[in-house]
Structures are given as C-alpha cells and as structure tokens.
Structure 1
Amino acid sequence: MLYNELKSAKLIPVLRKIPYETSQSLIEALILGGIKALEITMDTEKATEIIKETRQQFSDQVIVGAGTVLTVEDCRKAVDAGAQFIVSPSLNLDVVEYSLKNGLAVVPGVFTPTEMQTAYMAGAEMIKLFPASALSPGFIKDVKGPLSHIAIMTTGGITLANANSYLEAGASVVGAGSDLINKEFVKNEQWTMLQKETERWIEQLS
C-alpha cells in the first residue's frame, strides 16, 4: 500500500481534462517543481493513456493515481493502465473492494463522520473530504478527535492561501486543481512558469 507515500507527498495535483498532447511536459514540470504524487482524473480525454505513459516515463519519480473513479469499470481501466492509487468523489464500497483486491491504495470521497468510518471499516486507510471548500479546517480538527486513526485528504477549493490551514488542522495531504495548474500556463505551454508555481506551493507546505 502507498498510504505512507501519499501522506509524505502533502500536495497532490489533480489533473483534470488536461490536453493529452502536452500531458507529459506538464507532468514533467510538476515533478521538477517537487511533486511526488499526482492524480489524473478518469473524465480526462485519454486518461488511461496518460496514466500509462506517465508510469513508463516517470515511475521512479512520482506516484500516479486515477481520480474521479465512479464505478468498478472505471477502476478496472485505471488498474489496467498502471494506476497506483484510486481517488473517488464519493463512497462506492465496490470500488474500495476492487482497489484493495488489486493491491492499490484507495481514497474514497466522504462528507460525514459516518461515511469516514464506513470507508475505513471497508479498508480505506485514507479518505477524501470533498468538497473541502464546504468544510472549514475546524471541521477536520474536530473530527480528528474521535477519528484520529483515519488519514484525511482534502480536495475542492484548495488554494495556496488556504492549503496550510487544512494541513495544520490535521489533514495529511491536500489535492489542488486549477489554483495550482493554471489554465494559461497549460494553454500557452509555459512549463517553467508551472514549475515555479509548484515550487512555491511545495515551499509553503513544507
């Protein structure tokens, strides 16, 4: 299982609907900026190809996960492509079971303490509180009292300005999308700019 590696990463970029043609250049910029794990969402065009090529090119540098995994079929495709961890926006116990059977870490999306414990009892050692923007860091601090055994990832509305507050409240890792992966950088292929922005995040969260 890769849960400890995910925790040590602290920051996981969420790559949603990125262009396939420049995906490896984008990912290389993130890695050069200090990223140790990343998530490629399954609603991205050619997501499985991106996962497969990233594992081939950067397997010794970054942990590659699949996100927005809604069904067992999505999960199977991600596993076949070489994904090392699975992230979902909701709690699908069949996805949790399939992931664990195939030796992957799985991070299902939850919103309540009951869902957190249900996911944990099903074998998910880390859960994703989503959307984080609807839950203050104070919620994480409070819920970590009775549920300190469950590692938390927060995704949804994470910015450079608020990321640390979630980590300080008890989250193990934050997932960042558009605030980190600037659309203009991607559109104009400004990979050095993306690398520098990633370095800013890494420095602030370290």
Structure 2
Amino acid sequence: FEFTRKRAQSDAARMEDHNYLMEQCTVGQSRDAMHEMGVTLVRAGLLDDPLDALHISLDELKKVAAGNGPEDLRSLVRQRAEERDRLAKFTPPPTLGRPPAPSVTDPRDDHETDPDASTLRGQTASRGRATGTARVVRADAAPPRLREGDILVTTNVGPDWTLLFPLLSGIVLDSGEVFQHPAIVAREYRIPAVFQTRVGTSRIREGQVITVDGDAGIVELRVEGEG
C-alpha cells in the first residue's frame, strides 16, 4: 500500500503534463532530428524543403545517409504528399469489420435523422444546467477566444484546453467519455457537460443560444425568436 501511495503522490503531479512529457517531447525531438536531416538534404540538392524529409521513412533516410537510398527523393515526397492529402479527406468508419448489433434502441438515433429536433441527447459527463452562447469549434482548430459564460461545442478536447474551462458555462461534445480528462475537469469546475451527442457540431450553429442539461444528458436548441 505504501509503495502504491507514494507512486500515486508522485505521478499525480505529472498528470496534467503527461501529453507534453510522453508525446510532445518525444515527437518534437524526432521532428527536430528529421528537420536537421531535411536541411542537409536541401543543401545537397536532393530536396526543396527541409520539411519534405517528414515524408521519408527512417530506413530510407538511413539508406540516403549511407549513399544507397532512393534516387529521386522529390518524386517520392510528391507521391506521399498526395497520398496524405487524399487520406486527410477520408472519414474512417466507427468500427472495423461487422458492427455489433445494438442491444437497445439508442435515443440519439432520433435526432440524427430529424434535422428539426429541438433536443439533442447524449451522455451525462457533468451534472447541472446552464444556458449560453454556443462556440462551435472544429476538431483540428486552435482553442478559440471565449467570453465568460460561453458553451464550448466541439468533437473532443484534450488536457491543453483545460485553461479555458473557467470561462465556460457548459460543454457539448460529439464524442468523449465520462472517465476521460475533460469530463473529470468539468466535474471539478461544476460545469454542466453532455458528451456523445454525435451530431452536436453539425446541428448547433455558431452563436446559437443553447441549454446544456447535464442532469438529463440533453442539449436544448433554442429556436430563433424564442424568448
């Protein structure tokens, strides 16, 4: 028990930094090394941009350094850049193989097929009820400029968005789970939150006044002109 307690006390201080320590540091260092290799290849006349080296595998770069790599790196980079752009437009399926049969009817299916539904159903992530202005943010966008009392509507959020939470009156996510970081922090700040709406970002308009009911696990969409 004492061993586990000490580990918990030590690791708790690093919880907020785990993305930085485990992902950004390691990926950043790898990217810096790749960039240096790219600079060398540009100087050698083999590439046009140092960042083009990111399209070349580590094994290929080792062969290039040894003098027996691919002959036309520019063509290789161009092909892989085109493949990246093509895959960036691809929407992956929610499951691989045969999807599991639902054990019960999901009430969220109703508002996915009814564009006029005034209520979105999801999963309670943090209890409470709040009304505010929706700020709809794409998944790949930078954290937005918020006003106090705004309701954040996005696909999902990570620990780097935590600093924005004190400004929020509510949170709505397309995905998310009750045990993940944003749900835990929302409960700590007592911010009403509804996750797993699936269509929140497509149904809720930027600037629309909405109500997040974390007790019922629903989001009420106010109709224009409604008081």
Q: After TM superposition, is the score higher than 0.5?
A: no
| TM-score, scaled relative to structure 2 | 0.26
TM-score by length of 1: 0.28
Relative contact order: is structure 1 or structure 2 higher (C-alpha 8 Å, sep ≥ 6)? 1
Which has the larger Rg? 2
